[in-house]
Structure 1
Amino acid sequence: MSLPLLKLVDITRSYKTGQIEVNALNGISLEVNDGEFISIMGPSGSGKSTLLNIIGCLDKPTSGSYEIAGKKVEKLRDWQLSDLRNDFIGFVFQNFHLLSHLNALENVELPLIYKGILGQKRKKMAQDALEAVGLAERFYHLPSQLSGGEQQRVAIARAIVTNPSVILADEPTGALDSHTSENIMNIFRRLNEEMGITIVQVTHEKNISEYGDKIYHLLDGRINEIEKVDRVIN
């Protein structure tokens, strides 16, 4: 039996605000297998973003164990965590996080620059990623010249250009209208089904969560319910 791709065991995360200790996560345990598409839902303050940050190695738990493909994350140094993020994980955010002075192609090239990929090879990889999300005609447009949906597709292309095993999406449709949201989620579904990319998304929208295989409902830093769903059919 193969190991889970992501394995969290009894994860806690506490913060201090003055003299008050805030428990953002209270014993989270979950496993994500290679090729799964899961959604994390919960009200504001339930710990969704904190959990996603820990899964993405952007934050460290106060206690508990986290493994990525069998590697114990808590044993890795900062530079090793950085390499793991660059090689293994693609990030998609609600507000796109594109650099306004760079065109679509240049924004998608950024992770490849960090990996030391040069010249025409880097450009070709970025072009292929943009074509994969339907933006073959938008290579040289600035973010200000793109719609919200197009900007999010650039962000998705940037996330997949390094061929990650996992995409972590934090409210990926939160800034989009319902029609555009549906288009974006269909891209995620295709990346999952056709390319085999594991996807973990945080959302507060029930219809968006149902694009996944499972929904983890969070409440007060705990998993309150695990819901298995049939994927939505358009």
Structure 2
Amino acid sequence: MSLLELKGITRSYKNGQIQVNALNGIDLKIEDGDFVSIMGPSGSGKSTLLNIIGCLDLPTSGTYMIRDKHVEKLRDGQLADIRNQFIGFVFQRFHLLPNLSALENVELPLIYQGILGKKRKKIAKEALEAVGLGDRMNHLPSQLSGGEQQRVAIARAISSNPSLILADEPTGALDSRTSETIMNIFQKLNRELKITIVQVTHERKIALYGHKIYHLLDGNIEKVEILDKSTVKSV
């Protein structure tokens, strides 16, 4: 079943007097349980595409459907509901609040969803345990390594039980060994919890953790590379 489908997606904007066409008629279908990587050089439209998939931006033209719902027709409040209930976000720079513990950082989106005290803490603790941080949940971000901070960000992303995780260069600020740890966590979430994952990366070795690679160039999908699921493994 298609989780999301984009047809003829364009995105253009003004840069001074110049019109920039960031996306030029993108067609993209992602199924439940997919693990998709989006690759391309700087300026190819990767982040723009991820922002549209994540309902952080709307296309200039084209249609975008999530579970047969037309996203491009939704109002701001409805888009926020989709982001809060359907999508988990993981960014390159973690975006943790420095004065909150790991547990409190994971609790934040649950507060916005109106989940109360004991239940909220239970969900946050389980999410941290799922990424191997059960013994670090009371630490501040400054007391955690870069890899641990990214694991907190992943725990925050999965705390609301999303169908989809969007990751923007999730290993970009990490060394190779820590990157492997993070990608193994993503694989586990995809395989065991059946969470669909879409990541933007410029590193091929990171892209190879998924099932499929979309190669972008100048706002177009240049090619799609299908990886054999039976042989996809940590690299």
For normalisation by structure 1, the TM-score amounts to 0.98
The alignment partner of 1:217 has SS state of strand
Counterpart in the other structure of 1:9: 7
The alpha-carbon deviation at position 74 of structure 1 amounts to: 1.1
Counterpart in the other structure of 1:148: 146
Counterpart in the other structure of 2:233: 232
User: Would the aligned equivalents of 2:92 and 2:169 in 1 still touch at CA under 8 Å?
Assistant: yes
Counterpart in the other structure of 1:72: 70
Q: Which runs of 5+ in 2 are unaligned?
A: none
The whole-number CA distance in structure 2 between the counterparts of 1:65 and 1:143 is 40
Letter in 2 for 1:23: N
Counterpart in the other structure of 2:106: 108
> Residue deviations 1:85-135, cap 9 Å, x none?
101000000000000000000000000000000111000000000000000
Q: Which runs of 5+ in 1 are unaligned?
A: none
For normalisation by structure 2, the TM-score amounts to 0.98
Counterpart in the other structure of 1:171: 169
The whole-number CA distance in structure 2 between the counterparts of 1:69 and 1:130 is 29
User: Would the aligned equivalents of 2:90 and 2:154 in 1 still touch at CA under 8 Å?
Assistant: yes
Counterpart in the other structure of 1:40: 38
The whole-number CA distance in structure 2 between the counterparts of 1:198 and 1:183 is 19
User: Would the aligned equivalents of 2:91 and 2:169 in 1 still touch at CA under 8 Å?
Assistant: yes
The whole-number CA distance in structure 2 between the counterparts of 1:17 and 1:192 is 38
User: Would the aligned equivalents of 2:90 and 2:170 in 1 still touch at CA under 8 Å?
Assistant: yes
The whole-number CA distance in structure 2 between the counterparts of 1:218 and 1:232 is 24
The alignment partner of 2:106 has SS state of helix
Superposed, 1:13-92 pairs within 5 Å as: 13-92=11-90
Runs of 4+ in structure 1 deviating by more than 3 angstroms, as ranges, are none
Letter in 2 for 1:75: K
The alpha-carbon deviation at position 232 of structure 1 amounts to: 3.0
The alpha-carbon deviation at position 233 of structure 1 amounts to: 4.2
The alpha-carbon deviation at position 18 of structure 1 amounts to: 1.4
The answer to whether 1:190 aligns with 2:188 is yes
The answer to whether 1:120 aligns with 2:118 is yes
Percentage of pairs with the same residue: 74
Superposed, 1:209-220 pairs within 5 Å as: 209-220=207-218
Counterpart in the other structure of 1:202: 200
The whole-number CA distance in structure 1 between the counterparts of 2:162 and 2:98 is 24
The whole-number CA distance in structure 2 between the counterparts of 1:38 and 1:233 is 15
Letter in 2 for 1:39: S
The alignment partner of 1:196 has SS state of coil
User: Would the aligned equivalents of 2:180 and 2:234 in 1 still touch at CA under 8 Å?
Assistant: no
